[in-house]
């Protein structure tokens, strides 16, 4: 065998090795809601929020064993709204966001057996619609 053939084989082997090492590793890193047990973790709730200062309007109660993360809140108009977890004030909008749409980048965590309520939406006798969406997680 001629030295030129050996150098050609060596160059081909080197190129193939370099090509294989250039592949990127794939990692299974969750970018959103994790699905477990074959169920869809995304959920939404549509309720009416009243401006009664004596009581809060119940939006939902987390009756599952998983934590619920609220990612979006859509309200009717840019009125002042207050949101509560088990009666404790969690979020107050003060009408500062545009068109009644609020996207929560880190979310609001609702643990199992906790309730999410709202209050607000204009005058003391008014009622406004509230739409909540999010996902269940571990």
Instruction: Report yes or no on 19 lying in a domain.
Output: no
Which CATH number is 104's domain given? 2.60.120
C-alpha torsion sign, points 99, 103, 104, 110:
positive
Q: What is the pLDDT of residue 44?
A: 87
The whole domain housing 67 covers 43-137
User: Is the confidence at residue 124, as pLDDT, over 80?
Assistant: no
User: Is the confidence at residue 14, as pLDDT, over 80?
Assistant: yes
> With bands split at pLDDT 50, 70 and 90, how would you rate the model's confidence at 3?
confident
Residue count (the chain): 138
User: Is the confidence at residue 105, as pLDDT, over 60?
Assistant: yes
Backbone angles phi, psi at 12, to 5 degrees: -65, -45
Query: Cβ of 16: how many Cβ atoms within 10 Å?
Result: 10
Query: How many structural domains comprise the chain?
Result: 1
For residues 130 and 100, what is the distance between their CA atoms, to the nearest angstrom? 9
For residues 90 and 102, what is the distance between their CA atoms, to the nearest angstrom? 14
For 30-74, how does the pLDDT look when each residue is reduced to its tens digit (9 = 90+)? 555 555 555 667 888 888 888 777 778 888 999 988 889 998 888
Burial, 134: exposed, middle or buried (Cβ in 10 Å; 0-12, 13-18, 19+)? buried
Instruction: Report yes or no on 76 lying in a domain.
Output: yes
E strands, the chain, where? 42-50, 57-61, 67-75, 81-85, 88-92, 101-110, 115-120, 127-137
Instruction: Report yes or no on 16 lying in a domain.
Output: no
Instruction: Report yes or no on 33 lying in a domain.
Output: no
User: Is the confidence at residue 29, as pLDDT, over 90?
Assistant: no
> With bands split at pLDDT 50, 70 and 90, how would you rate the model's confidence at 97?
low
């Amino acid at each position: 065998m001629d030295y030129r053939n050996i150098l050609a084989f060596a160059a081909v082997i080197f190129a193939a090795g370099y090509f294989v090492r250039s592949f990127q590793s794939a990692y299974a890193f969750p970018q959103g809601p994790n699905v477990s047990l074959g169920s869809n973790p995304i959920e939404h709730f549509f309720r009416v929020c009243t401006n009664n200062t004596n009581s809060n309007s119940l939006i939902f109660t987390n009756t599952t064993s998983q934590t619920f993360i609220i990612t979006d809140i859509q309200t009717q108009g840019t009125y002042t709204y207050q949101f509560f977890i088990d009666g404790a004030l969690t979020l107050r909008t003060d009408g500062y966001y545009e068109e009644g749409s609020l996207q929560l980048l880190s979310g609001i965590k609702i643990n199992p057996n906790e309730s999410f309520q709202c209050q607000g939406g204009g005058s003391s006798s008014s009622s406004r619609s509230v739409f909540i969406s999010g996902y269940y997680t571990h």
